[in-house]
Amino acid sequence: MLRHFRQISILILPSLAKKRTTQRASKARRRPPQKKKKKKSRGILYSLTRLIVVLGIAAALHHYWPQLRALAERAPNQLILTSRAIAGTTELQIALAREGFSPGSIDGASGSQTKRALLAYQTAHDLPQTGSFDEATAQLLRIEDPVLTQRQLRLEDFTQVAPKPQSWRARGQLDNMRFNSTLEMLAEQAQTDPDLIASLNPAINWSQLSAGDSIRIPNVPPFRVQQAAAYIQITLSKRTLRIFSAEHRLLFHCPVSIARRVDKRPSGELRVKVRVNQPNYTFNPAILTGTAQREGITSKFIIQPGPNNPVGTAWVGLNLPSYGMHGTPEPEKVGRTESSGCFRLANWNAQTVLDAAHVNMPIYIEP
């Protein structure tokens, strides 16, 4: 009987062991596909995350390229280290310009444009609107070093300079409306009045400059609005232009020239129709009749782009024929002289507006 029991055990136990092994193998065969599915999902998610990060970095580089280029042009030992209290009007104007509250051409003189830039800064930061550099404003608005930087001239800088044409007809014969002097070029790059640049460099002979020469200029990188802009407000009586967000937050401020004749000044709501970087200009004798008569011009012609183009380096056309917001060859006169009808800005501020504006953006013209 014991022998029969052993024979039965020999027959049953292997079959049970085989059944358990088969069950484990079956479970094992069912599990791996789940793991592979999870790994595949994780791989797709990881790839999408990497793509989003790369696109974000690319977008940021495109948006901040002017600031990055300006930083790269600084001398290696001239890095911004920390902020400190502002000393004097020149530093105040530089600090305001860096924050996007342009006083116009930085000239070291406290005037109405600096006061309006201060008022804009105080408005944007919920400070008492005094228009003066008071204690509350001084606690918030500080400056970072270096305030001034050494700009080393390069060979290519001199290709951007050419003698000033003596007539409108002569302008039409040029391939580019270049700067008329190295001083003018440096002043525009530093958002500064040429007289202040000259005063910062008393030993410089401006007629004998060469590659390698170092010029002392204010350190003011190009400003770009970093939030989505919703609308622009131009106040004729104050000669100011301001950009706002959809939540009515003030994002940018600068001076603007308006039409000399009251009947040429638009009012109410306009819209952005077109945006053009580095525009050309069409001389029309039917519009500039006085100039056309003096020079004997009877037909239209094109003036090529450049910083000394009549509309500067940027054109934001409006839905009112022949009207727009644009740059100028004479930034130090913006807000102090009047235009033929358009809204005239310093080239650096026109570039800021061009970057922030979009087609169909509302422009509100206030008295």
Residues 242 and 334 occupy one common structural domain:
yes
Q: Is residue 10 part of a domain?
A: no
User: Given this model, what pLDDT does residue 44 score?
Assistant: 77
192 Cβ contact partners less than 8 Å away, ≥ 6 residues apart: 105, 106, 107, 217, 218, 220
Q: Rounded CA gap, 176 and 159, in Å?
A: 11
CA-to-CA dists, residue 270 to 225, 266, 359, angstroms: 21, 9, 11
Residues 191 and 266 occupy one common structural domain:
no
Please list the alpha-helical segments (H only) found in 256-365: 289-295, 347-356
Residues 108 and 150 occupy one common structural domain:
yes
Residues 239 and 142 occupy one common structural domain:
no
User: Given this model, what pLDDT does residue 170 score?
Assistant: 95
If one counts the domains in the chain, the total is 2
Q: Is residue 133 part of a domain?
A: yes
Which candidate, 161, 160, 154, places its Cα nearest to that of 215? 154
Residues 156 and 194 occupy one common structural domain:
yes
Sign of CA dihedral 231, 234, 235, 238: positive
Q: Rounded CA gap, 98 and 77, in Å?
A: 20
User: Given this model, what pLDDT does residue 76 score?
Assistant: 40
Query: Strand, helix or coil at 241?
Result: strand
Residues 202 and 242 occupy one common structural domain:
no
Per the CB < 8 A criterion, the answer to whether 331 and 346 are in contact is yes
Q: Is residue 122 part of a domain?
A: yes
Residues 197 and 92 occupy one common structural domain:
yes
348 Cβ contact partners less than 8 Å away, ≥ 6 residues apart: 102, 188, 191, 222, 223, 331
Q: Is residue 9 part of a domain?
A: no
Work out the burial of residue 355: count CB atoms within 10 Å of its CB; fewer than 13 is exposed, 13-18 middle, 19 or more buried: middle
What is the CB neighbour count within 10 angstroms for residue 360?
Answer: 9
Please list the alpha-helical segments (H only) found in 275-325: 289-295
User: Given this model, what pLDDT does residue 27 score?
Assistant: 45
Query: Tens digit of pLDDT per residue, the chain (367 long)?
Result: 434 434 434 444 344 344 444 444 444 445 555 555 555 667 777 777 778 877 778 766 665 554 454 445 444 434 445 899 999 999 999 999 999 999 999 999 999 999 999 999 999 999 999 999 999 999 999 999 999 999 999 999 999 999 999 999 999 999 999 999 999 999 999 999 999 999 999 999 999 999 999 999 999 999 999 999 999 999 999 999 999 999 999 999 999 999 999 999 999 999 999 999 999 999 999 988 989 999 999 999 999 999 999 999 999 999 999 999 999 999 999 998 788 789 999 999 999 999 999 999 999 999 9
Domain with 357 in it? 231-278+313-366
CATH of the domain at 262: 2.40.440.10
Residue 192 Ramachandran class (φ > 0 left, ψ -120 to 50 alpha, else beta): beta
Work out the burial of residue 295: count CB atoms within 10 Å of its CB; fewer than 13 is exposed, 13-18 middle, 19 or more buried: middle
Q: Is residue 69 part of a domain?
A: no
Q: Is residue 55 part of a domain?
A: no
Q: Is residue 145 part of a domain?
A: yes
Residue 248 Ramachandran class (φ > 0 left, ψ -120 to 50 alpha, else beta): left
Which candidate, 75, 68, 124, places its Cα nearest to that of 96? 124
Which candidate, 190, 198, 193, places its Cα nearest to that of 219? 190
| pTM, rounded to two decimals | 0.77
Structural tokens at position 125 = 């930061």
DSSP label of 253: E
User: Given this model, what pLDDT does residue 340 score?
Assistant: 79
User: Given this model, what pLDDT does residue 78 score?
Assistant: 42
Residues 237 and 168 occupy one common structural domain:
no
Q: Is residue 286 part of a domain?
A: no
- Return the beta strands (E) in the chain as ranges: 83-84, 143-144, 148-152, 214-218, 231-235, 240-244, 250-255, 268-277, 281-283, 301-303, 314-318, 324-326, 343-344, 362-366
CA-to-CA dists, residue 144 to 66, 135, 211, 340, angstroms: 18, 18, 29, 39
